[in-house]
């Protein structure tokens, strides 16, 4: 492989990894607080692409505004899903909440099929993201650079929110101990809503850029990326934001490099994530940087 | 009367943990609840702070019925609980733990001066401000838990076995601190297994047995009571 080709794969891997990282954060944050694997997260991701698409195509909003609105609306949808499907089960066994999450996931997929129909739609790609740059023979689209930059900006905002704000401090407290957090006067339900908003909004950021990178979207779009990003979160160490980012990049780069170095395996591209999951569960079940989770009482 | 509890009941599923207890907490006093494991001491405090729902009876705070008020609101009204087993936020720094104690307050300057006040009570904490609370020793964590509760500027502070699992010297420190904050006008409702030490500093005490109050009286009197001596003081 030439160095040029390698660099092109590297750029692709980083950009795919950024998308995985953005989506994986939603899994890890919700897990950190509720010890729940939010199986509807892939569907939230899917919905964000349709919201952005309709914003641009149906309401003919400028893309900047449409994308921003899509991020906010998706964040609110995440909050709404939590209120409707998880919050009423707060005192129930974990398994009930998990089943509710799977139910919501199927519900949203099928609702998508009814509303958006099963026929794939083309996601708009504004010119800003579609400029081609020529680097001595290899062509790279501006989107490939924009994705990691946007991801880095949102990750920076997230790190600031979690570590430097009062709400972030409350989130970290709630993730350790609901009851004691209540004794501090923290409104736990509000903190959970914030968590779902942030996780879903980041999934929307990922979803919109996903749509521009792979512009055919359909209502089952969330299934595979959703599973893969869940795997990324587990690989990195579920519950940890840094872990989700590491897992996302690991998975994105791994997938691209697998195909790059072993073209004969390109049919197994999607299997890479699952093999990785099996290996990590065998070798280090807590994930790359995962800490031991003590059961909350 | 700061806090008045009438006929309080608590059920956990089929278990009747509190069977109608009556309890009074006067302002600026130390009140203690003693009793064996499972007598309902913790349940009483948890019901007062709203962590468990009571199944009957009423909790009156400053003349207002707060039986069904949410925990957050109770903290706002000035009732705070130092939970059993300290329960500091291990993943947060000592400083952040103290800030969380003042979560409902917005007076930044006052919060900082209260943190200084907590440091003056517990100089050890000041040395460890930026350490994660999980790295503190048991005694230090207990001090942090008390300091954190003080940060809410409560009027009533409830403590669930603050001496549990601590070395005897540290236990002495903890009891000194309790008296110290009491002197500054705090009302304290204290649960203890260490009945001797608790009754010695308490103005008034209650003895709980399987969910009922079986005995009550001024702390010193209870300490002299033959039954109490036999059952709880080991003599």
Note whether residue B182 is domain-resident. Answer: yes
How many folded domains does chain B comprise? Answer: 1
Residue at token pair 């420190």: B173
CA distance A296 to A273: 29
The CATH number of the domain holding residue B13 is 3.40.50.300
Domain of A108 in residue numbering reads as 3-221
The answer to whether A97 touches A89, Cβ cutoff 8 Å, is: yes
Interface ipTM above 0.85: yes
Note whether residue A267 is domain-resident. Answer: no
Of B75, B90, B152, the CB nearest to A176: B90
CA distance A229 to A41: 10
Residue B104, Cβ neighbours under 10 Å: how many? 16
- Min Cα distance B234 → chain A (Å) is 33
Of A172, A179, A186, the CB nearest to B51: A179
Note whether residue A240 is domain-resident. Answer: no
List, for residues B17-59, the tens digit of each pLDDT value: 999 999 999 999 999 999 888 889 999 999 999 999 999 999 9
pLDDT along chain A (297 residues), means of 10: 85 95 96 94 97 94 96 98 96 94 97 94 92 82 94 96 95 94 96 97 97 95 96 94 95 94 90 94 89 52
- Note whether A180 contacts B: Cβ–Cβ < 8 A: yes
Q: Helix, strand, coil: what percent of chain A each, to 5?
A: 75, 5, 20
Note whether residue B162 is domain-resident. Answer: yes
Pick from A274, A291, A164, A170: nearest CA to A240: A291
Of B49, B89, B101, the CB nearest to A176: B89
How many folded domains does chain A comprise? Answer: 1
CA-based Rg of chain A, rounded to a whole angstrom?
Answer: 19
Note whether residue A272 is domain-resident. Answer: no
Query: Which one of A33, A90, A185 makes the best mutation probe of the B interface by having the most chain B beta carbons within 10 Å?
Result: A185
Note whether residue B38 is domain-resident. Answer: yes
Note whether residue B202 is domain-resident. Answer: yes
CA distance A260 to A244: 24
- Note whether A164 contacts B: Cβ–Cβ < 8 A: no
DSSP letter, residue A37? -
Query: Which one of A184, A187, A296 makes the best mutation probe of the B interface by having the most chain B beta carbons within 10 Å?
Result: A184
Residue A186: closest C-alpha in chain B? B72
The answer to whether B15 touches B207, Cβ cutoff 8 Å, is: no
Angle at A202 between CA A198 and CA A206, to 5 degrees: 170
DSSP letter, residue B52? S
Note whether residue B18 is domain-resident. Answer: yes
Note whether residue A56 is domain-resident. Answer: yes
Note whether residue A92 is domain-resident. Answer: yes
CA distance B225 to B159: 24
List, for residues B74-105, the tens digit of each pLDDT value: 999 999 999 999 999 999 999 999 999 999 99
A 90-129: CB under 8 A from B: none
- Note whether A182 contacts B: Cβ–Cβ < 8 A: yes
Kindly list the residues from chain B whose CB atom is less than 8 angstroms away from the CB atom of residue A190.
none
User: Environment class of residue A237 by beta-carbon count within 10 Å: exposed (0-12), middle (13-18) or buried (19+)?
Assistant: buried
Of A166, A177, A182, the CB nearest to B89: A177
- pLDDT at position B194 is 84
List, for residues B100-119, the tens digit of each pLDDT value: 999 999 999 999 999 999 99
Q: Average pLDDT in the B175-202 region?
A: 92
Note whether residue B117 is domain-resident. Answer: no
- Note whether A177 contacts B: Cβ–Cβ < 8 A: yes
DSSP A268-285: GTTHHHHHHHHHHHHH-T
Angle at B132 between CA B193 and CA B151, to 5 degrees: 60
The answer to whether B25 touches B81, Cβ cutoff 8 Å, is: no
């Amino acid at each position: 492989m030439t160095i040029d080709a390698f660099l092109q794969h590297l750029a692709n891997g980083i950009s795919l990894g950024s998308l995985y990282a953005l989506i994986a954060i939603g899994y890890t944050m919700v897990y950190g607080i509720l010890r729940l694997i939010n199986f509807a997260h892939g569907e939230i991701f899917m919905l964000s692409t349709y919201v952005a698409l309709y914003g641009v195509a149906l309401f003919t909003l400028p893309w900047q505004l449409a994308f921003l609105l899509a991020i906010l609306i998706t964040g609110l949808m995440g909050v709404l899903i939590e209120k409707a499907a998880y919050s009423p089960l707060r005192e129930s066994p974990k398994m009930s909440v998990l089943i509710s999450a799977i139910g919501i996931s199927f519900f949203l997929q099928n609702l998508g099929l009814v509303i958006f129909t099963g026929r794939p739609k083309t996601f708009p790609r504004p010119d800003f993201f579609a400029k081609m740059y020529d680097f001595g023979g290899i062509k790279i689209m501006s989107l490939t650079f924009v994705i990691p930059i946007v991801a880095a900006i949102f990750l920076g905002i997230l790190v600031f929110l979690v570590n430097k704000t009062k709400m972030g401090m409350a989130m970290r407290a709630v993730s350790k101990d609901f009851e004691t957090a209540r004794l501090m006067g923290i409104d736990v339900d509000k903190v959970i809503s914030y968590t779902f908003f942030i996780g879903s909004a980041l999934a929307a950021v990922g979803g919109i850029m996903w749509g521009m990178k792979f512009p055919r979207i359909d209502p089952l779009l969330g299934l595979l990326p959703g599973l893969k990003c869940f795997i990324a979160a587990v690989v990195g160490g579920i519950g940890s934001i840094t872990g989700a980012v590491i897992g996302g990049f690991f998975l994105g780069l791994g997938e691209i490099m697998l195909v790059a170095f072993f073209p004969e395996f390109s049919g197994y591209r999607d299997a890479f994530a699952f093999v990785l999951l099996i290996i990590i569960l065998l070798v280090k079940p807590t994930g790359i940087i995962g800490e031991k989770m003590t059961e909350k009482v | 009367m700061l806090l008045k509890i009438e006929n309080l009941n608590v059920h956990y599923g089929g278990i009747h943990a509190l069977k109608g207890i009556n309890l009074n907490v006067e302002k600026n006093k130390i009140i203690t609840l003693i009793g064996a494991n499972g007598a309902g001491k913790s349940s009483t405090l948890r019901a007062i702070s709203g962590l468990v729902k009571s199944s009957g009876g009423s909790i009156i705070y400053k003349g207002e019925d707060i039986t069904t008020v949410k925990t957050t609101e109770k903290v706002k009204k000035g009732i705070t609980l130092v939970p059993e087993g300290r329960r500091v936020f291990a993943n947060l720094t000592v400083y952040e733990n103290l800030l969380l104690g003042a979560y409902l307050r917005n007076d930044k300057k006052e919060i900082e001066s209260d943190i200084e006040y907590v440091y003056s009570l517990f100089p050890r904490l000041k040395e460890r401000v930026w350490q994660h609370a999980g790295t503190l020793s048991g005694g230090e964590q207990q001090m942090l838990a008390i300091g954190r509760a003080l940060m809410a500027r409560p009027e009533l502070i409830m403590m669930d076995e603050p001496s549990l699992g601590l070395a005897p010297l540290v236990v002495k420190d903890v009891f000194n601190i309790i008296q110290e904050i009491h002197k500054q006008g705090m009302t304290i409702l204290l649960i203890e297994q260490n009945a001797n030490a608790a009754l010695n500093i308490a103005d008034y005490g209650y003895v709980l047995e399987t969910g009922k109050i079986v005995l009550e009286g001024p702390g010193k009197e209870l300490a002299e009571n033959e039954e109490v001596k036999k059952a709880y003081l080991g003599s």
